[in-house]
Structure 1
Amino acid sequence: MHETEVVGLNVQRRRRGWPTLDIGPFFMFFGIAGTDHGREARMERRFEQEYFSNAVTLHLASALSPGTYALHGLPEEANKRGWTVGPQGGNPTGHLSADGLDELRGWMRRTPSQRDRRVRPERMLPPA
C-alpha cells in the first residue's frame, strides 16, 4: 500500500466493565468440585482489558479501507497488536499498554529534524 502521514492521535481510557467474581474458591471451600470451562477465556479477556487500557485512534492524511492493519514505521511496542479500521473506513484504532502509548507519543514529538511521521499500512490476515 501507499505511505501516508500520521497527522495526530486521540487517546481514550478503555472503559472497564463490572468486575467479575471468581466463585470457584467458594465452592472448593465447601468441597464442591467442578470444571470451569470458560475461566481461561475470561481471565485472558480481563488481562487484555486491564493491560491494554488505552484506546488510541491515529489520524492519517489519507483514509484506509475497513480491515486490520500493521502500520510499518510506528514503534514496535505500538504496532504489536495491529490497528483496526471500522466498517465505514477512515482512521485506525488500536489498544495500547501504557508503555506502548508512551513510546508512540515519543515518536510523535521527535525533534524537528526527525519530523517524518510516515507509515506504510499493510493489511493483516485474520488468524486461522
Structure 2
Amino acid sequence: MVQYVDNHLDLSFAALSDATRRGIIDQLGQADASITNLAEKFQLTLTGMKKHVQVLERAGLVVTQKVGRVRTCKLGTNGLKAEAEWIEAHRKLFEARFEALDEIIGELKQEGSDEPAS
C-alpha cells in the first residue's frame, strides 16, 4: 500500500489539533508573548506551556527567541498557506461529490414521481 507522506502537514495538523495550541496561535496573532505570560493566560504550568510551544515551533507555526531569562514567542513566518491549500482542494472535492449525489437524488425523486399512484 502506498502512503502519502507530507511531514510538514502532519506536524501542522497535529499541532493544530489541540485547542490550547490553537488558542496560543490566536493569542500570538494579537501580540508576541513570553512563555510565562502565555502560561498565566491559559492557566498552565511553565513546563506544560513549554511543551505546547515546542509542538508549535516544530511545526513552524511559532518561533521563539530567548533574551536573558525570557523566552518570547511570536507567529512563524510560514503562515498556513500549504495547510489552507490542502483544505481548499479537499473542500472542493467534497463539494463536487455532494453535488453529484444531489443530482442522483433529484433524478431518483423525479423517477418516483413519474410512476402512477396505486
User: TM-score, normalised to structure 1's length?
Assistant: 0.27
Q: Which has the higher helix share?
A: 2
User: TM-score, normalised to structure 2's length?
Assistant: 0.29
Q: Which has the higher strand share?
A: 1
Higher Cα Rg, which structure: 2
Higher relative contact order, chain-length normalized (CA < 8 Å, sep 6+): 1
